[in-house]
Amino acid sequence: MGVATTGVPTANTTEPALWGLVGNTPLVPVNTGAVGDTGARLFVKAEWLNPGGSVKDRPAREIMRAGIAEGALPSRRLLDASSGNTAVAYAMLGAAARIGVTVCVPANASPERFRLLALCGAEVIETDPLEGSDGAIRRAREMAEAAPERYWYPDQYGHRANPDSHYRTTGPEIWRQTEGAVTHLVAGVGTSGTLMGAGRFLREMRSDIRLISVEPDSPFHGLEGLKHMATAMVPNIYDPSLIDETIFVDTESAESKVRALARDQGLLVGWSTGAALVAADLVLGEHALVVIIGPDGAGRYLSETRRWLED
């Protein structure tokens, strides 16, 4: 079976041209030394090739479209909480559409994210790093309640446009690119929108597909963007009944996988992709075709990776 890896974005002349570049990311094959000649195949959905550098371009665009349709944007500022990537997506897409953006982000998000936010002109509210994304959510809610005339607060953790964006784009792309042969979808959960949306679409197309959720193995971890659901504020869009299995991954194993992938195959991925790859190794089986979501690239973490270079 050949795997299609390219697509042409659909133009919408009523939106900034940049918005039309979101999506249609390729599937990249990953060589695993663990499966031998069983016929198992592993692909990563290269979401770092979106114009804003992450999978969050997809829900950010759909949420902003919803705000425009409601008449809330651009008359008010978009306000939301983010661990980093959605903030960057909002800032980039907002700059293109002349929509003001204010984001609440944990102060320990990577420096690269803060630099990108500044470059795109977003207003950034740094929140307590020990409270993670939950602290950013609480701060955004406070600001929205205090100034509803100034801010439109969609709440990416609860807005249906988040999973719907993946139901309409990510899921169908994976289905087309694998020619319907995908057997497993593996994705980390933060807002959970990717797995909820793409997973729902793929389950409708193939009832026996396995949907695998990846979480950090503890509340205190270094996997930016992922939630340890048992100890975090659970997103309203999260539906555990859709998930077949949850695999818990420690930060060190994810970092090791990222380092090995860069050195052995030249693929420069982020930590949450590394965690998904660790989980994928556990579910690869005979004649499986596993697709993992690669939310972002290594460029978002370069300032934090000095220790990765140590043998």
- Show the domain range for 258: 17-50+167-309
Number of separate domains in the chain: 2
Residues near 257 by Cβ (< 8 Å), separated by ≥ 6?
274, 275, 277, 278
User: Up-side HSE of residue 157: CA atoms within 13 Å toward CB?
Assistant: 24
CA separation for the pair 60, 53 (Å, rounded): 12
Q: What is the pLDDT of residue 167?
A: 98
Helix, strand or coil, per DSSP, at residue 128: coil
Per-residue pLDDT of the chain (311 residues; tens, 9 = 90+): 555 444 434 445 589 999 999 999 999 999 866 544 456 699 999 999 999 999 999 999 999 999 999 999 999 999 999 989 999 999 999 999 999 999 999 998 889 999 999 999 999 999 999 998 999 999 999 999 999 999 999 999 999 999 999 999 999 999 999 999 999 999 999 999 999 999 999 999 999 999 999 999 999 888 888 999 999 999 999 999 999 999 999 999 999 999 999 999 999 999 999 999 999 999 998 789 999 999 999 888 887 655 445 54
In a domain, 187, yes or no: yes
258 lies in some domain: yes
CATH number of the domain residue 209 falls in = 3.40.50.1100
SS3 at position 90: helix
Residue 282 resides in a domain: yes
From 128, 152, 176, the end of a domain falls on 152
Q: What is the pTM of this model?
A: 0.90
Residues 118 and 227 occupy one common structural domain = no
Same domain, 142 and 173: no
* R_g over Cα of the chain: 18
Let me know whether 195 and 213 are in one domain: yes
